[in-house]
Amino acid sequence: MSEDVDTVAPEAVRERLAAGDDDFDLVDIREADAYEDGHLPGAEHLTAEELEDVVAERDWSDEVVVYCYVGQTSVQAARLVEEYGNADDVASMAGGYEAWADDVEALADAD
């Protein structure tokens, strides 16, 4: 397993989703109440504990993007998918959902 985990900027994820690119697994590993309060379009919810239970059995896309609140727990989750999953490319979304929400808010303010 790699010590370093790739990261992807929230802006890059937003652009891919806006372009209709759904050729990757997007996994939100926050708690259920946080997911219900808001999440990225098309994101699947799996808590960190649930991810541990299914990571090796899951049929992952070639590319997986994992996010959490601020990007720390998702690095650990990305390492888990990288080690035990069958995905070729795994990344943690830099800054997590908080950075995504800030990016969306900045776009709305720019309009």
Examine the residue annotation and report whether 28 is marked as an active-site residue of this protein: no
Q: Retrieve residue 48's tokens.
A: 């960190």
User: Which one is catalytic: 55, 64, 68, 77?
Assistant: 68
CA distance 107 to 86: 35
Q: Where are the alpha helices (DSSP H) in 2-95?
A: 10-18, 32-37, 48-54, 73-84
Residues whose CB is less than 8 angstroms from the CB of residue 20 and which lie 6 or more positions away in sequence, other chains included:
none
Chain position carrying tokens 């090796």: 56
Q: In this structure, which amino acid lies at residue 40?
A: L
> Which residues carry out catalysis?
68
